[in-house]
Amino acid sequence: MQRLGLAQALLHDPELVILDEPMSGLDPMGRMEVRGIIRTSGGGEDSVFSSHILSDVEALCDRVIMLHKGRKVAEGRVEI
CA distances from 13 to 8, 40, 73 (A): 10, 12, 31
Reported as a single tens digit per residue, the pLDDT across 4-62 is 888 888 888 788 888 888 888 888 898 888 888 888 775 456 788 888 888 888 888 88
CB 35 within 8 A of CB 59: yes
Boundaries of domain holding 45: 2-77
Q: Report, in this order, helix, strand and coil percent for the chain, each rounded to 5.
A: 35, 30, 35
Please, which residues bridge with residue 47 across strands? 17
Domains in the chain: how many in total?
1
Instruction: Give residue 80's pLDDT.
Output: 65
Q: Which CATH number do you get for residue 69?
A: 3.40.50.300
Cα maximum dimension of the chain: 34
CA–CA separation, 49 and 22 (whole Å) = 8
**Higher pLDDT, residue 27 or 73:** 73
